[in-house]
Structure 1
């Protein structure tokens, strides 16, 4: 799963034709923008959770807790120093800045590939009773352009399992390939304030409207499109 990220970080550490100085700049920039940039905003929240739930997260007790918190404090300082180094390298000239930009671009592209690989593995592990492996992979790799209804190639039960953390009370959601509206109605039950479902099949859209839970179209609306 992580192979694209590992390869991108390794590539950033190899000296190109411009020499070892450029490789040092690209390596530290890849580390900073690919990882350390998040530390300052992430570790403060994480440390508060660790303090509150140290019994569950760190069964080793106070010694583990102290080590973990010390490590996080040092990592924040480490990230701040790394930023200073990246800024210093970026002032060295065009070639160094180009090497930094190339390395960061590769890291960010690799994170997308990592996410794609992760989703494929998760969907294979989270097969619901309503869909087999073929249907799950169909939802990940769907390229169908002539289907009468997008819901025919998407495994809605599995996909919707990922939605609750992203839905806040009153949020507006657009569901592409809504079929007869089962997913829309489930999103409403999760707390969405308004859901618009779009499907290429006019028959599915008509059936979805007939089965709508909400009388007000501004909360539950179905449109044909594709």
Structure 2
């Protein structure tokens, strides 16, 4: 049984022009951690997510799952145990497929594909109940092509799809940045609910400093491809908005 502990050891990543975009980074994500991530432009936030997800290979160092290197695993293989929600609501879903078809596809992630019947009808009731927990009417659009949904509904669907198999790690890549404030708050409330109820391990990049303070049990700050602050739960509770702003002075 996997403990779900993912870590980066001495992670170095250089671009083709030898520019250092991850600088000897070390990070351990323990089971149940909800880590919020702050950093300016070019700090290495996207690089961190791309290295973990397998979209980008380390120049040197290791990405480990339960102390075993997963450097050799492709992005597709890692998707069996890593879920990711992107900033753009259009990513992560198939626009011409219905909501139910997208959920069915996500529910079969990691399973062998054959010529068996889809059995979509049999799953619709459970998908209806799942979508009903969101509270934005998504359950009434099971037969609607995903491309016709609102941005908030589509992002909520992406979140459901990324967590339906309860991944070892959930990566939230500024997943509320493209939404209006009210919808962003709804998605964050849903995020907290899903992460808490399923006891997921989660990394969340955000530019909303209030979200970085409100959510999660750890806060890390990146600068020039390094972790310059890794603040545990007890210390994070004492932080003010001014403290966070001071990290960037």
TM class by smaller structure: under 0.3
- Structure in which a larger fraction of residues adopt helix: 1
- Structure in which a larger fraction of residues adopt strand: 2
User: What TM-score results when the alignment is normalised by the length of structure 1?
Assistant: 0.28
User: Which has the greater radius of gyration?
Assistant: 1
